[in-house]
Amino acid sequence: MNLVVQARRTAIACAVVTLALGATTTSAHAITLAIDPSQSSVTYTPGGFSFGGPDGGSTSTAPQTFTLSGRFDVAQETVPITLSFDPLTVVDREQIRFEAIAVNSGGAATAGFVFPTYFAVLTGQAFAASEDPCTWFPSTGSCSSMGSFGSYAGSFDGTTLSMTGTDYAGDFFPSSFNFTVVARVAAVPEPGTLACLALGAFALGAAHRRRRGLGPHQAFFTNSDLSPIAPIPSILQSMS
């Protein structure tokens, strides 16, 4: 087949695959972000007290700061909420949550730090979140809670996410983790680009085999001169 025609067909197939994968990505509303370690950290402050200071009193352990690195996905979703004072009224709430978390927090994780997975309410580019179950409950009418609850807030413009927050570990005298995260969209190839590369490689291989007069599954090639070393049926015969 003419190489120009082959290239044209490959380009058309590429466009179709890219459009299909693009539609899938858009419907998922998930974006992978890479954390900037130079601007991201978590400071661990141990809770409680230890006795035995110089004057016989209590002492506290000094805070420790750890660098954050890695990546995570930001997923956006629309959730219908029923209002308690008007059950017939349903409003849509825009939310984001963090998924596929692969974050390295150093010694903070050993001490109990957990990167937040609870949702945040999104308003424009700004978002805010709280682990307190009574924070976002317009459908219950009343709610009460007690204890130390994690929270975070920040903004995401589609390219860069910046946020600060606090996490807690422990019950009576919980340890606290104050964190700052700056993350940007990860520079990874789009699915459509990867599909195009695969289709292009297949097309070149098929054209090369045709020029040598071989079928699409007839030969293996060496790394040095790409000369056929054995047809597949012969190899299968010798193995049986």
Q: Is 123 left (phi over 0), alpha (psi -120 to 50) or beta?
A: beta
* pTM of the entire predicted model: 0.62
Separation CA 190–CA 148 (nearest Å): 41
Per the structure block, which two tokens stand in for 5? 């025609």
pLDDT at res. 184: 97
CA torsion angle for 87, 89, 94, 96 (degrees, to 10)? 10
Backbone Cα Rg of the chain? 28
Q: What is the DSSP string of the chain?
A: --HHHHHHHHHHHHHHHHHHHHHHHHHHTEEEEEE-TTT-EEEEE--S-EE--TTSSEE-PPPEEEE-EEEEEEEEEEEEEEETTEEEEEEEEEEEEEEEEEEE-THHHHHT-----S-EEEETTEEEEES-TTTT-TTTS-----S---EEEEEE-SSEEEEEEEEEE-SSS-EEEEEEEEEEE-----HHHHHHHHHHHHHHHHHHHHHTT--TTS--B-TTT--B---HHHHHHHH-
pLDDT at res. 21: 41
Task: Read off φ and ψ for residue 9, nearest 5 degrees.
Answer: -65, -40
pLDDT at res. 34: 97
pLDDT at res. 230: 47
Residues 198-218: tens digit of each pLDDT: 555 555 555 555 655 545 444
- Low-confidence residues in the chain, pLDDT < 70: 1-28, 48-60, 84, 136-142, 144, 171, 188-240
pLDDT at res. 87: 76
Domain ranges of the chain: 1-28+200-240, 36-185
Residue with tokens 């104050």: 178
Per the structure block, which two tokens stand in for 203? 């097309």
Residues 40-56: tens digit of each pLDDT: 999 999 876 554 555 55
Q: Which amino acid type is present at position 56?
A: G
pLDDT at res. 25: 34
Per the structure block, which two tokens stand in for 180? 């700052």
From the list 207, 200, 197, the residue with the least C-alpha distance to 3 is 207
Separation CA 215–CA 19 (nearest Å): 31
pLDDT at res. 210: 60
pLDDT at res. 173: 78
